């Protein structure tokens, strides 16, 4: 299961409102970054074969089957500081993360 904080859900909703109204929020894991994998967030108009759909705080979140293996238990938060706002990822499967917090390593890699 994936968890969105209220702040993350609000920010996703705010960004989504600037897109087409029927887009869905997609969360994925892709190879790359400092630690081997990174989080990828985008908006998509279609649910693809193999996608899991989660309804979280009125946000429909799409996750492909491969990414779900790395994201189970993930908590996504959003916060602002003097450097600006950003999403923060808390992944219980990560055994290492880079300084930016967007790239991670798991024991499954």
Is the sign of the CA dihedral 54, 73, 32, 67 positive or negative?
Answer: negative
Tell me what pLDDT residue 109 has: 58
Tell me what pLDDT residue 14 has: 93
Mention every residue, 6+ apart, whose C-beta is less than 8 A from residue 7.
77, 78, 79
Tell me what pLDDT residue 104 has: 79
pLDDT tens track, the chain, 109 positions: 899 999 999 999 999 998 877 899 999 999 887 778 899 999 999 999 999 999 988 899 999 999 999 999 999 999 988 777 899 999 998 877 776 667 777 777 5
Q: For the domain bounded by 3-106, which CATH number is listed? A: 2.60.300.12
CA 75 to chain centre: 9
């Amino acid at each position: 299961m994936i968890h969105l904080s209220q702040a993350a859900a609000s920010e996703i909703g705010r960004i989504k409102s600037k897109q087409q109204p029927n887009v869905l929020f997609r969360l994925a894991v892709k190879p790359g970054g400092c630690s081997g994998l990174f989080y990828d967030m985008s908006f998509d108009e279609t649910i693809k074969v193999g996608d899991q759909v989660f309804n979280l705080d009125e946000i429909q979140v799409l996750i492909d089957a491969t990414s779900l293996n790395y994201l189970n238990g993930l908590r996504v938060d959003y916060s602002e500081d003097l450097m600006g706002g950003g999403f923060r990822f808390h992944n219980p499967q990560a055994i290492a993360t880079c300084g930016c917090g967007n790239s991670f390593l798991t024991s499954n890699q």
